């Protein structure tokens, strides 16, 4: 499957709108987890694999290739991977969603009056 790019048709949209391409990229299994694990600096392949619950090496390679192709992750000469400035920007853009999800989880953890019946 090709790396999603603005201007090209992507899963769920034939328009190629940038938002739809971004949602396709970030919606692919493991991509957000990889971005999360790289937020504090460069990580080697094996360490990243362990941080991602020991996902298969072939899937990790495929996801890293997509993220590198999308300009979100870069591979350093020492074979570590790191977020690019665009990758850090994407992570910062996700902060409101992280806050919302925390509020959502707190709301769902309060007992629903309907459940008491």
> What CATH number has the domain bearing residue 82?
1.10.10.10
Burial profile 65-104: b = 16 or more Cβ within 10 angstroms, e = fewer? ebbbebebbbeeeeebbbbbeebeebbeeeeeeeeeeeee
In a domain, 116, yes or no: no
Q: Is residue 37 part of a domain?
A: yes
**Residue 13: inside a domain:** no
User: What is the model's pLDDT at position 13?
Assistant: 83
Residue 112: inside a domain: no
Number of compact structural domains in the chain: 1
- The proportion of the chain whose per-residue pLDDT surpasses 90, expressed as a percent, equals 70
Mean pLDDT of 67-86: 96
- Please check whether residue 31 lies inside any domain of the structure: yes
Confidence of residue 69 (pLDDT cuts 50, 70, 90): very high
Q: What is the pLDDT of residues 8-54, one digit of tens each?
A: 888 888 888 898 899 999 999 999 999 999 999 999 999 999 999 98
């Amino acid at each position: 499957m090709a790396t999603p790019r603005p201007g090209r048709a992507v899963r769920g949209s034939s328009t190629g709108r940038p938002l739809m391409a971004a949602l396709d990229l970030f919606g692919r299994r493991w991509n957000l987890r990889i971005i999360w694990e790289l937020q504090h600096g460069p990580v080697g392949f094996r360490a990243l694999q362990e941080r991602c619950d020991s996902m298969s090496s072939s899937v990790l390679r495929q996801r890293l290739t997509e993220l590198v192709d999308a300009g979100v992750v870069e591979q350093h000469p020492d074979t570590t991977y790191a977020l690019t400035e665009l990758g850090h920007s994407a992570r910062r853009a996700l902060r409101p969603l992280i806050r919302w999800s925390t509020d959502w989880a707190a709301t769902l953890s309060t007992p629903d009056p309907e459940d008491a019946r």
